[in-house]
Amino acid sequence: MYSSSKAALEHVSRIQALELAEYGIRVNTVKPTVVLTELALKAWDPEKLEVMRQQIPLKKLATTEDVAGVVRWLLSDEAGMITGSAIAVDGGRTMGGCGL
């Protein structure tokens, strides 16, 4: 269910981008890997976090700053031509076939 709901949300976002473009509204999604928040550090077993880290080509987990930086860029004029996109903030994990 989890993966299906993520795929559905990404699809809905693309449809919204198409429908809202004529009004100058851009719609994008940001898809982070595990983000090292206080909650994540409490909820995840350290050994499982290490397994996850090893599955990521860049060999690191995301920070809140990593995700916020992408969101900040998407909100800027520099990303003015970006709509209907799903940006993975996952260090290449989905690129390697994990978590698709």
- Whole-model pTM? 0.85
Q: Are 83 and 26 in contact (CB under 8 A)?
A: yes
Reported as a pLDDT band with limits 50, 70 and 90, residue 95 is confident
Within 13 A of 62's CA, how many CA atoms are on the CB side?
20
Q: What is the pLDDT of residue 47?
A: 95
Q: Model confidence over 26-68: pLDDT tens digits?
A: 999 999 988 999 999 999 999 999 999 999 999 999 999 999 9
- Asked if 2 is an active-site residue, the reply is yes
DSSP 76: S
Number of domains the chain contains: 1
Domain interval for residue 6:
2-96
Q: Which of 1, 2, 23, 39 is catalytic?
A: 2
